[in-house]
Amino acid sequence: MLLVLVAHIVAATSAPVLVSWLGRRAFWVLAAAPASAVVYALAHTGDVLGGATPVQVVEWVPALGLQLAFRLDALAWLMLLAVGGIGTLVLLYCSAYFARSAHGLRRFAAVLTAFAGAMVGLVTADDLLLLFVFWELTTVFSYLLIGHYTDRKPSRRAAMQAIVVTTAGGLAMLVGLVILGVDGTWRLSDLVADPPHGPAVTVAVACLLAGAASKSALVPFHFWLPAAMAAPTPVSAYLHAAAMVKAGVYLVARFAPAYSDVPVWQVTVLVLGAGTMILGGYRALRQHDLKLLLAFGTVSQLGLLVLLLGFGTQAAALAGLALLGAHAMCKAALFLVVGVVDAATGTRDLRSLSGLARAMPGTAVAAVLATASMIGLPPTAGFVAKEAALAALLPDAGHAPPAGLLAAGGGAAAWVLLAAVVLGSALTVAYGLRFVWGAFGTRRATLPVAGMSAVGRQPLLLTGPPLVLAVLGVVAAVAAPAGEAVLGQHAGTYAGAPGHLALWDGGTPALGLTLAALALGVALFRWRGAVERAQDRLRVPAADGAYRRTMRRLDELAADVTGFTQRGSLPVYLGVILVVLAVGPGLAVAWGLVTGPLPVDLVPWDRPAQAAVVAVVGVAAVLAARSRRRLKAVILVGVAGYGNAVLFLLHGAPDLALTQVLCETVTLVVMVLVLRRLPPYFSGRPLAADRWVRLAVGVLTGVVMMVFAVVAPAARIHIPVAADFPEEAVSYGGGHDIVNVTLVDIRAWDTVGEISVLLVAATGVASIVFLRVRSGEVLRMPRARDGVPDGARVPGPLAAGRTLAPRRRSVLLEVATRIVFHAMIVFAVFLLLVGHDRPGGGFPAGLVVGIALTVRYLAGGRYELGEAAPVHPGLLLGTGLFLSAGVGLAALLFGGEVLQSWILDREVPVLGHVHVVTSLFFDVGVMLVVVGLALDILRTLGAELDRQAEEDGDTMTPGRTVGMAGATGETRLGVIGVTEALDGAPAQVPAGREGRP
């Protein structure tokens, strides 16, 4: 079985190449794939007859219990023959049907072959989820085939409609399959042999039937099938007559032995089946397009098939299986006939066709034989099957189930059902006659006859396949007893007395019903004019209109939901998140506090000094929130930050305090650097009401956070992971400062992630600010050989001080910088080296270097920054990340874990005892990344902003803004104020270095 599937996969994947090489003859080669399915099925006929079921299982995902399980029983055997046999003939037919120059033939060949493979998998799969996979594959391939003419709107629309409807049903089916499989077995055969029952299973059964109904085009999902006739005719013959639409029927036949006694099953199957049969026949009666006529006829027959196979008795099931085979043969044959007619005459409209019986006798014979099978005339398989069906449905024949829906109304329901089937059969007779008469009859055509004179001999590959199928319909009728033996194997799994298949059973009541249906059908056809006029007066509401309205409503609903939730306003989004935080987790914690399980305990303070610092922090925070001046707000936030550092220190976290102080300093400087360019005041206040809302959300969040702060420590029930850190830090990490060892060793992976964030942020800042290039060059002082005249320059303590305008220079600052810079660098190195044992480490060291660079920049301008750090920050960031993460990998070479530390203790002359831990490299990497970040910030928000300001002529007008007169005036005043405070007037730029476009 696997081999058959592999054959399909190979054929489908090689199809494009084959079509390139062989043109449309490639279909001959591709036909071998479905033919292999036929050969496989026929080779195992003996097994199936003997009741054996060959099984193949390949483990797929053992942990999930997913298996590629396949099983061949009588039902799968029948389906394999239909799918493989008709697939073979259709592919051969394609080689003659399509023009040599037809578009998209490569894709078409591949998809059609792949579809055949999916169908083979679907009917043999013995695993619920595997079944679903193949089910959806057929949906997708069908979508591609219906939409084959991608340039045609109806084609695209039909494809979309088909995939939406069948996928919706498929998803419902998946739910059903999961409900069935999750508690028991995923093996289909085991499930059907020992089906679970219960309320959940009832839901599952309803879901399964939804899937089957959508796939097999039952009312109310039937509308996609006629629209799918936009596909090429061979596709209609294969997918929409023989194969895919039979998938739903197959599903019903598969599960009926297990669940046909469930009430929801009976209601759905019988009502939908009978309703579909009548509606399809009724609509078929008034079609002029031959394909549409057959499509509605298919809908009708699918209804009957589902009804028979879902009925739940052995006799009905046997009749249903026989009808399944008969219908596959005759309907595929009829579609292929339409293709022949279409190809020969250029039209499918029966009003334009006349006298084709004489022009194409072979095709006409095929059509007559296939139609006879469809409407149930002897000696055809259709007649055998329909006789058996009517016999099985006769209420007093001893076949009907004793209880359930059919017993309702004292057995009247059973009679109603029988009447519906007879009526449906009569309609089938009427539209069958209409088809033959319309396609081949000789009469006065009501529309201009198109190209009829050009009808010549059709190629054998075009007329052969339908004729073969039609003749097979007769052969199968003769072989009815053999059919009963094979199909009985599956029918035997149903309840009730066995049925019977025979070409001639004598004068039974079923024969009478058949005659009645025939008579009624002939009458409907004889008086077709009256029937058509009656139908025109009595319009049935079209389901596809309802579908379109539903889809439009869905679109509108989606747009409404989007419009409601996606406000596009940052404050609204943040507000919603925060309110949800308060309402969700906040209320939950509050509830826990009120009802008692959460203990609450509080001490006023750990150390009295905390109270004083908290007072400062609190006041600063509140004032910052109220401030209208940017600078004031920034400085107040800075105060709060420094206060936090003190709180860290009081808490016993010197590392944090150090880092916080350094970070706060850099932040302040950076903020002020940018504020130079921004208006001094925040823009006009929003509405007062708005402010109260924000205040309310703020206070609410604050309260919730306070509750969390009280509850979180108390909620600890396990020993903290950090309990062993002190010991581990010394013995494994080789350091005494546990926080630092945690960063570079115990939780080094976290740190790698975090410095990666720094790298990304630094790169982001650079790319936002450097407009013309992705990252600016390193600004260096012009060398003497550049020959820069420097008459106006005054020498000073800093190399680049000369590049500043005299009134922007501060000698005091330059001298101080000269003194402290090197000391700061040495301090940074000290912090780095002691970090493993004392407060310090890569982060603070990098920040100290950053501050040292900041001082140089503030004192000497942007050229001074280039002189102080003549490297590209990208290099620092990259090297840093490499040292941290890359060197961590080196431990792998020595058989250790990634980022594992090695401790080296050596006696070195002069220095004495040296204790080195390899994680020092990690810390150096961290430091480099932080320095790179600081340098990037200074270069962009400092130096580049200077440059852009000078370019704007220091007018402080925002770049591409027009008509900002009022705002600009205010802007200019304030910003110059800040600028003066910082470095005064525009710098004098060394010629040849800048001012380049």
Partner 1 sequence: MNPEMVPSGVLVVAIGVLFAAGVYLLLERSLTRVLLGFILVGNGANLLMLVAGGRAGGAPIAGITPVDEMSDPLAQAMVLTSIVITLALTAFVLAMAYRSWQLNGHDEVADDVEDRRIARLAARNAPVYRDVDQGEAGTLDEDAAAARDETERDEAGDKTGEAT
Residues 462-521 that bind partner 1 (CB under 8 A): 462
Q: How far apart are CA 240 and CA 490, in angstroms?
A: 24
**Which one, 806 or 874, has the nearer CB to partner 1?**
874
Q: How far apart are CA 760 and CA 933, in angstroms?
A: 9
Structure tokens, 145: 């085939």
Candidate residues 126, 127, 484, 737; the one interacting with partner 1 per rule CB under 8 A: 737
> Which of the stretches 204-212, 373-381, 740-748, 881-889 binds partner 1 when contact is defined by CB under 8 A?
740-748
The site that binds partner 1 (CB under 8 A) totals a number of residues, namely 168
3-class DSSP state for residue 916? strand
Strand residue runs (E) in 826-936 = 903-908, 912-917
Q: How far apart are CA 90 and CA 462, in angstroms?
A: 9
- Which residues between 381 and 410 bind partner 1 (CB under 8 A)? none
- Which residues between 289 and 348 bind partner 1 (CB under 8 A)? 289, 291-292, 339, 342-344, 346, 348
Question: Is the Cβ–Cβ distance between 75 and 251 less than 8 Å?
Answer: no
> Which of the stretches 203-211, 261-269, 368-376, 938-946 binds partner 1 when contact is defined by CB under 8 A?
938-946
> Which of the stretches 471-479, 487-495, 780-788, 952-960 binds partner 1 when contact is defined by CB under 8 A?
952-960
Candidate residues 712, 794, 823, 914; the one interacting with partner 1 per rule CB under 8 A: 712
Residue 198 CB-half CA count within 13 A: 7
- Which residues between 101 and 160 bind partner 1 (CB under 8 A)? 101-103, 149, 152-158, 160
Candidate residues 408, 768, 811, 871; the one interacting with partner 1 per rule CB under 8 A: 768
Q: How far apart are CA 413 and CA 499, in angstroms?
A: 21
Structure tokens, 124: 């043999």
794 contacts partner 1 (rule: CB under 8 A): no
Q: How far apart are CA 298 and CA 228, in angstroms?
A: 12
Q: From the CB of residue 402, how many other CB atoms can be counted at a distance below 10 Å?
A: 8
Read off φ and ψ for residue 66, nearest 5 degrees: -85, 130
- Which residues between 48 and 67 bind partner 1 (CB under 8 A)? none
Asked, as a colleague might, if the bond just before 465 is cis with ω within 30 of 0, I would say no
Segment 900-905 long-range contacts (CB within 8 Å, at least 24 positions apart) = 901/732, 901/733, 901/734, 901/744, 901/745, 903/734
562 contacts partner 1 (rule: CB under 8 A): yes
**Which one, 423 or 929, has the nearer CB to partner 1?**
929
DSSP secondary structure string, 740-801? HHIIIIITHHHHHHHHHHHHHHHHHHHHHH--SSSSPPPP-PPPGGG----TT----SSGGG
3-class DSSP state for residue 57? strand
Candidate residues 59, 183, 396, 750; the one interacting with partner 1 per rule CB under 8 A: 750
> Which of the stretches 127-135, 180-188, 587-595, 678-686 binds partner 1 when contact is defined by CB under 8 A?
678-686
261 contacts partner 1 (rule: CB under 8 A): no
Closest CA to 84 of 133, 43, 47: 43
Residue type, 430: A
Candidate residues 945, 976, 982, 985; the one interacting with partner 1 per rule CB under 8 A: 945
Candidate residues 139, 216, 233, 803; the one interacting with partner 1 per rule CB under 8 A: 233
- Which residues between 429 and 458 bind partner 1 (CB under 8 A)? 451, 454
> Which of the stretches 11-19, 391-399, 733-741, 905-913 binds partner 1 when contact is defined by CB under 8 A?
733-741
Least CB distance to partner 1 at residue 661 (A):
10
Helix axes 105-124, 245-259, angle to 10 degrees: 10
Q: How far apart are CA 231 and CA 636, in angstroms?
A: 72
15 contacts partner 1 (rule: CB under 8 A): no
> Which of the stretches 124-132, 413-421, 662-670, 854-862 binds partner 1 when contact is defined by CB under 8 A?
662-670
Strand partners, 914: 906
Q: How far apart are CA 549 and CA 552, in angstroms?
A: 5
Give the x-and-dash track for 537-556 against partner 1 (CB under 8 A). -------x---x------xx
Candidate residues 119, 125, 769, 935; the one interacting with partner 1 per rule CB under 8 A: 769
587 contacts partner 1 (rule: CB under 8 A): no
- Which residues between 597 and 656 bind partner 1 (CB under 8 A)? 599, 601-607, 610-611, 614, 617-618, 621-622, 624-625, 630, 633-634, 637, 640-641, 644, 647-648, 650-656
- Which residues between 862 and 921 bind partner 1 (CB under 8 A)? none
> Which of the stretches 109-117, 712-720, 891-899, 900-908 binds partner 1 when contact is defined by CB under 8 A?
712-720
**Which one, 591 or 605, has the nearer CB to partner 1?**
605
Q: Scanning the structure block, which residue is given the tokens 């009708």?
A: 300
Least CB distance to partner 1 at residue 282 (A):
15
Question: Is the Cβ–Cβ distance between 517 and 425 less than 8 Å?
Answer: yes
**Which one, 665 or 817, has the nearer CB to partner 1?**
665
Candidate residues 181, 679, 796, 974; the one interacting with partner 1 per rule CB under 8 A: 679
Closest CA to 710 of 700, 719, 702, 720: 702
238 contacts partner 1 (rule: CB under 8 A): no
> Which of the stretches 191-199, 417-425, 756-764, 979-987 binds partner 1 when contact is defined by CB under 8 A?
756-764
Candidate residues 659, 854, 901, 918; the one interacting with partner 1 per rule CB under 8 A: 659
Closest CA to 327 of 348, 349, 299, 350: 299
DSSP secondary structure string, 469-508? HHHHHHHHHHTHHHHHHHHHHHHTTSBSS-----S---S-
Structure tokens, 925: 């990497």
849 contacts partner 1 (rule: CB under 8 A): no
Q: How far apart are CA 922 and CA 849, in angstroms?
A: 17
Least CB distance to partner 1 at residue 105 (A):
9
**Which one, 796 or 932, has the nearer CB to partner 1?**
932
- Which residues between 83 and 102 bind partner 1 (CB under 8 A)? 96-102
DSSP secondary structure string, 522-560? HHHHHTHHHHHHHHHHSPPPPHHHHHHHHHHHHHHHHHH
Least CB distance to partner 1 at residue 702 (A):
3
761 contacts partner 1 (rule: CB under 8 A): yes
> Which of the stretches 127-135, 209-217, 680-688, 988-996 binds partner 1 when contact is defined by CB under 8 A?
680-688
Query: Sign of torsion, CA 452 458 462 464?
Result: positive
3-class DSSP state for residue 906? strand
> Which of the stretches 475-483, 660-668, 805-813, 866-874 binds partner 1 when contact is defined by CB under 8 A?
660-668
Strand partners, 905: 915
568 contacts partner 1 (rule: CB under 8 A): yes
Candidate residues 702, 886, 969, 977; the one interacting with partner 1 per rule CB under 8 A: 702
> Which of the stretches 583-591, 759-767, 879-887, 897-905 binds partner 1 when contact is defined by CB under 8 A?
759-767
Least CB distance to partner 1 at residue 238 (A):
14
